[in-house]
Structure 1
Amino acid sequence: MDLGPVDRETAALARLHLSKPVSFSIIGIFVILLVGALYFARSFFLPVMLALLITLTFSPMVRYLRRHGVPSAVSAVLLVLVLFAFLGSASLYLSDPISQIISDLPTIAQRIEERFAPLREPLRRVMSASAQLEELADTAGPAAEKVVVAQSGLAGWAANALGGLSTTLGATLVLVVFLLSSGDLFLHKVVRILPTLSDKKRSVRLVHNVEFEVSRYLLTITAINLGFGAAVATAMWFLGMPNPLLWGAVATALNFIPYVGAAIGVGATFVAALITYGTIGPAFLAPAAYLLFHTLESAFITPLILGRRLELNVVVIFISLAFWGWIWGIVGALIAVPILVVIKVFCDNFPGLAHFGEFLSGTPPAAEPLNGEE
């Protein structure tokens, strides 16, 4: 049978086999371009990623309400309004203590320098150059100029960061409304393309399983972190630390960052307690309480509620934190682990990606007998 020119070209492309070096080069170029796009177009990709995570979290709830007669658009708007009210009220309440801390930063820096002065003495003896720089920095005029410049620069940075975060959250919530309102529109379009009825049923089941597992994880871990923040706030209030609710909010956000968040929280509470109490002994109470609650949460509460199925590889977690923190800053570090969980759930539900999901898992593989052993 004689093939037409288009058919012959298609057959020739089908027989084209690229060598391994060429294939790896193409994949490497694609990865580099993708990373560059994520970095330089962060103002576009960050709201999209946040919106997708929030949509995966609340899609089962919207679907449940739709089965009971509530339109998807109505439930989506209500959910977004609840999120906006929660975030807005928290921002309004925490804005005053944050502004006060920013304005008091020069005084706080001076107190930190005074508290840690004994630790600086050995370094002065070893590094004579450091001593000379200290003598130059102790003059009144330049010191005052430094404080003004630092305070102004930090205030400007904080204003720019808060403005950018507000814009990102606004764009995210608007996109969430449209994604949740569309319901299963995109799923129906994908199912319509599939050839057989069994493929359609399997695809719907897989998508619903992924949505359910991701939603369960994100909602559960958010509830656990809120409980952890409430416990930290209560402990800070009981110990007489200033702004206990701010400490609770910070602890809730930092608990989304495994390992690193706990280290930052413990270190920050120690410095703040040292400034507040003035002596080393009582200053250890606040970080000890923080570390105690974190140990209880990470070692007992979270494994008991979520189980071991979604446990992740520690090395992969640190790589993900470093990568997304470099790409998208603090927000990227906060969502690094949720992104990993979404990827792992997808891999666990698709047989072709099971090996990659096993690589992401933190559970040790089953022991296999060596050659010659039964």
Structure 2
Amino acid sequence: MTDATSESAAASDAAASAPAPATTAPSGSTGAAADAVAAQSGEAPPSRTFWASLNHPFALGFFVTLGALVALVLGLAVSNLSTVIIYVVFALFAALGLDPVVRFLERHGVTRAWSIVIVFTGFAVILVGVLWLIIPTVVQQISQFIRDIPALIANFQSSALFAWLQDNLGDQVGDILKQIQGFLTNPSNIAAIGGGVVKVGITIGTTISGLIIVLVLSLYFLASLPAMKVSFARLTPARNRPTVTSITEQITSSIGGYLGGMVVLAFFNSIVAFLLYTFLGLPFPLLMAVVAFSITLIPLVGSVLFWIIGSMIALFSSPLGALIFAIIYLIYMQIEAYVLTPRVMNKAVSVPGSLVVIGALVGGTLLGLLGALVAIPVTASILLIIKQVLIPRQDAKV
């Protein structure tokens, strides 16, 4: 009995000396399990830290305001550096577009250094030659177009189409034409559109300097593209590097193929526009070829936009020629959509039509022309990552 009594007393003393169980968190708090783990490790529980910070509203408000100011400064920095970012993106895409040609020469026994020299020199010579041949003629045709506006409108007013429009719409058609003629033939309005002679000169200078910067950056990117891929892969864990390297190679190859394909399709559009305007006797064929090449670089809607613009310009010169141009170019658009585009783009990108529309709208809204140009390859890259990374991980889960 004495031994049993002593054992009971010892058990009572041990129970009394044991630490009291952890109290529950205040009403409305969360993370009780995290509090218990933090208490066992000797750290302050997260919930207690949170409630303690509420006891110092000045410090909490200071850090929240500081975070908002940092976010605002970063946003302003990105906004001010938008031009530089656009230069870098254009140069990177130019390098990716020239890289397939460089790799083609490498496969035929030419070293990469000489391949870059050959491709970039050829690209620069072609670009300068085209600009040297086209710009004087385009400037001359733009001046001639401005001088010929009264004659073009007069010819349109004497056409049967104008008479039909006037019979159905009244004298408003004539008033609208007079307003258009007065606006386009007034030099002050043209200057106002361009922001003045000084601003036009600054814009031209900025464009030329930006083109030089893009060319230089594209040369550096083209030369260091393999090293950039390796460095990007080394940022990931070693176990993921083979997958990252494969995906990066596929993305860069698809972007390069897409850009090359867009240039080829735009070149076809410019040739068709030039031939149609020349054979139909329509004015400014070379100018419209340049316009066609520039506009049809825009994916999805570029051909439609030029079809409308080309038909409207031709309408002022010859309604019959405008009708023939609209019909033939519409037929060419179908050939391009169902024959040329699949053949040119079959190894570049594969994006569903609905995602092409959504990507072009989102890219154009966020970044304008640049966003519309990069929307499809970016969408294709995202789809590739989803197919090769996200979906296999989901399939591996049981």
Aligned to 2:227: 185
Aligned to 1:348: 383
Counterpart of 2:281, as a letter, is: G
Q: Deviations over 1:295-324 (max 9, x none)?
A: 221233213543582344223323322332
Instruction: Tell me which of 319, 322, 344 is aligned to 2:365.
Output: 322
Is the alpha carbon distance of 1:61 and 1:274 closer, same or farther for their aligned partners in structure 2, counting shifts above 3 Å?
closer
Q: Deviations over 1:101-153 (max 9, x none)?
A: 332354344345442665578777679xx979x79x99xxxx69972323555
Report if the CA contact (8 A) 1:80-1:176 is conserved: no
Report if the CA contact (8 A) 1:257-1:337 is conserved: yes
Structure ID, larger Rg: 2
Report if the CA contact (8 A) 2:96-2:222 is conserved: no
Tell me the TM-score normalized by structure 1.
0.69
Aligned to 1:23: none
Is the alpha carbon distance of 1:175 and 1:158 closer, same or farther for their aligned partners in structure 2, counting shifts above 3 Å?
same
Is the alpha carbon distance of 1:105 and 1:212 closer, same or farther for their aligned partners in structure 2, counting shifts above 3 Å?
same
Aligned to 1:230: 271
Aligned to 2:218: 176
- 1:250 and 1:106 map into 2 onto residues whose CA distance is 16
Matched, 1:88 2:128: yes
Question: Map of 1:251-266 to 2, 5 A cutoff?
Answer: 251-266=292-307
- 1:121 and 1:353 map into 2 onto residues whose CA distance is 63
Instruction: Tell me which of 339, 348, 373 is aligned to 2:374.
Output: 339
Is the alpha carbon distance of 1:126 and 1:88 closer, same or farther for their aligned partners in structure 2, counting shifts above 3 Å?
closer
Counterpart of 1:228, as a letter, is: N
- 1:260 and 1:284 map into 2 onto residues whose CA distance is 21
In structure 1, the residue corresponding to 2:281 is in which secondary structure?
coil
Aligned to 2:249: 208
Unaligned runs of 5+ in 1: 17-27, 326-332, 357-374
Displacement, 1:45? Answer: 1.4
Counterpart of 1:181, as a letter, is: A
Matched, 1:294 2:333: yes
Instruction: Tell me which of 189, 198, 211 is aligned to 1:150.
Output: 189
Aligned to 2:312: 271
Matched, 1:282 2:317: no
Report if the CA contact (8 A) 1:226-1:252 is conserved: yes
Report if the CA contact (8 A) 1:66-1:72 is conserved: yes
Displacement, 1:171? Answer: 0.6
Matched, 1:239 2:280: yes
Question: Map of 1:27-176 to 2, 5 A cutoff?
Answer: 40-63=80-103, 65=105, 70-111=110-151, 113-114=153-154, 115=156, 119=165, 147-153=186-192, 154=194, 156=197, 159-176=201-218
Is the alpha carbon distance of 1:216 and 1:35 closer, same or farther for their aligned partners in structure 2, counting shifts above 3 Å?
farther
Counterpart of 1:191, as a letter, is: A
Counterpart of 1:94, as a letter, is: I
Is the alpha carbon distance of 1:252 and 1:343 closer, same or farther for their aligned partners in structure 2, counting shifts above 3 Å?
same
- 1:104 and 1:123 map into 2 onto residues whose CA distance is 31
- 2:172 and 2:275 map into 1 onto residues whose CA distance is 43
- 2:291 and 2:133 map into 1 onto residues whose CA distance is 13
Aligned to 1:218: 259
Is the alpha carbon distance of 1:35 and 1:131 closer, same or farther for their aligned partners in structure 2, counting shifts above 3 Å?
farther
Counterpart of 1:214, as a letter, is: I
Q: Deviations over 1:303-359 (max 9, x none)?
A: 35435823442233233223322xxxxxxx2x4344122212321332389789xxx
Tell me the TM-score normalized by structure 2.
0.65
Displacement, 1:49? Answer: 0.7
Is the alpha carbon distance of 1:8 and 1:65 closer, same or farther for their aligned partners in structure 2, counting shifts above 3 Å?
farther
- 1:144 and 1:336 map into 2 onto residues whose CA distance is 32
Unaligned runs of 5+ in 2: 1-37, 51-67, 392-398
Report if the CA contact (8 A) 1:270-1:283 is conserved: yes
Report if the CA contact (8 A) 2:149-2:185 is conserved: no
Report if the CA contact (8 A) 2:137-2:286 is conserved: no
Q: Deviations over 1:190-247 (max 9, x none)?
A: 3334443x42222221111111122222212321221232222222222122343332
Displacement, 1:250? Answer: 2.0
Higher relative contact order, chain-length normalized (CA < 8 Å, sep 6+):
1
Percent identity (aligned): 18
Counterpart of 1:53, as a letter, is: F
- 1:144 and 1:253 map into 2 onto residues whose CA distance is 26
- 1:347 and 1:144 map into 2 onto residues whose CA distance is 47
Counterpart of 1:75, as a letter, is: S
Displacement, 1:292? Answer: 2.1
Instruction: Tell me which of 304, 309, 320 is aligned to 2:350.
Output: 309
Cα RMSD after superposing both structures: 4.3
Is the alpha carbon distance of 1:311 and 1:252 closer, same or farther for their aligned partners in structure 2, counting shifts above 3 Å?
farther
